[in-house]
C-alpha cells in the first residue's frame, strides 16, 4: 500500500506542476525553463563557480563585443548579454582577473543560451585559470 500512496502522491505533484505551468505566460514558462536548466547544470558542474563582474571582450560569429562576465570557473563562464550567439558556436574571450593585469585569452563554445546571457564552456580545462580563481574572492 505504501508504494501505491507514493505513486499517487508523485502523480498528484506532477499533475499540479503541469497545471501551474500551463497557467504561466510563455515568457514565464521560458524563465522557469532557464531556472530549471541552471539548477540542473549546478548539480553536474565539475568546477565551482565564482560570482564576479568583469569586463570581457569576446568574438562570436564574426562580431566583436564587450560585455560582463557574471560568474566563472576553470571550465567555463557566464556572460550577461542580450546579443544573440548560437548554441555550439566558437567564442574567443579576453579579460583580466581582479588583481592580475595580464589579460587572460581563452577559446570556448556556447554551451547554452538564455534570455539574459550565454554560458561558455572552455575548449579545455584550464588549471592555471583555476589556480588564479582561487586567489580572488
Domain that holds residue 16: 2-43
- Choose from 42-46, 80-84, 123-127 the range with maximum mean pLDDT: 80-84
Whether 126 and 63 share a structural domain: yes
Whether 38 and 71 share a structural domain: no
Whether 121 and 64 share a structural domain: yes
Q: 66-116, pLDDT tens digit by residue?
A: 999 999 888 889 999 988 788 899 999 999 987 777 898 999 999 999 889
Q: In this structure, what are the phi and psi dihedrals at residue 116, rounded to the nearest 5 degrees? A: -110, 5
Whether 62 and 123 share a structural domain: yes
Count of structural domains within the chain: 2
Q: pTM of the full predicted structure?
A: 0.62
Q: CA 44, CA 110: separation in Å to the nearest integer?
A: 17
Amino acid at each position: 500500500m505504501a508504494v501505491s500512496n507514493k505513486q499517487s502522491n508523485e502523480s498528484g505533484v506532477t499533475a499540479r506542476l503541469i497545471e501551474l505551468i500551463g497557467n504561466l505566460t510563455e515568457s514565464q514558462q521560458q524563465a522557469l525553463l532557464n531556472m530549471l536548466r541552471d539548477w540542473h547544470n549546478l548539480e553536474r558542474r565539475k568546477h565551482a563557480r565564482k560570482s564576479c563582474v568583469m569586463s570581457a571582450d569576446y568574438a562570436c560569429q564574426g562580431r566583436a563585443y564587450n560585455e560582463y562576465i557574471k560568474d566563472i570557473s576553470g571550465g567555463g563562464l557566464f556572460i550577461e548579454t542580450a546579443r544573440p550567439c548560437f548554441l555550439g558556436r566558437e567564442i574567443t574571450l579576453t579579460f583580466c582577473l581582479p588583481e592580475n593585469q595580464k589579460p587572460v585569452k581563452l577559446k570556448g563554445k556556447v554551451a547554452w543560451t538564455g534570455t539574459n546571457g550565454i554560458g561558455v564552456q572552455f575548449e579545455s580545462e584550464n588549471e592555471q585559470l583555476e589556480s588564479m580563481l582561487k586567489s580572488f574572492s
